[in-house]
């Protein structure tokens, strides 16, 4: 299997928000508002797909490694801090 050191976007925040159990996901009459993709309490983060293992059973990333990860930098996939892409 080929390693895939590449950035992916994940959203971090309170578990209630991740699980769509936040008032911002509801319409005025209390129904799920499918037009709301993410509530304002979630923050998008760039992490390395390969270095941030996903637990299929739990449904979340166990340890998030920020992009660019050290391996991607060492392999020349991503620039070092301060270098142009």
- In SS3 terms, 11-59 reads as EECCHHHHCCCCHHHECCCCCECCCCCCCCCCEEEEEECCCCCEECCCC
Q: What percent of the chain has pLDDT over 70?
A: 92
Tokens of 75: 């392999």
pTM equals 0.74
Instruction: Check whether 5 has a pLDDT greater than 60.
Output: yes
Kindly list the domain boundaries of the chain, sorted by start residue. Answer: 7-75
Q: Assign 85 a pLDDT band (cuts: 50, 70, 90).
A: low
Q: What mean pLDDT value characterizes the chain?
A: 90
Q: If you ran DSSP here, which 8-state letter would residue 79 be given?
A: P
């Amino acid at each position: 299997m080929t390693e895939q050191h590449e950035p992916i976007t994940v959203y971090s925040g309170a578990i209630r928000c991740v699980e769509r159990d936040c008032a911002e996901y509801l319409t005025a009459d209390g129904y799920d508002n499918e037009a709301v993709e993410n509530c304002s309490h979630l923050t998008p983060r760039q992490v390395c797909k390969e270095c941030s293992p996903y637990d299929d059973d739990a449904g979340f990333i166990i340890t998030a490694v920020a992009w660019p990860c050290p391996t991607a930098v060492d392999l020349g996939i991503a620039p070092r801090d301060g270098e142009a892409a």
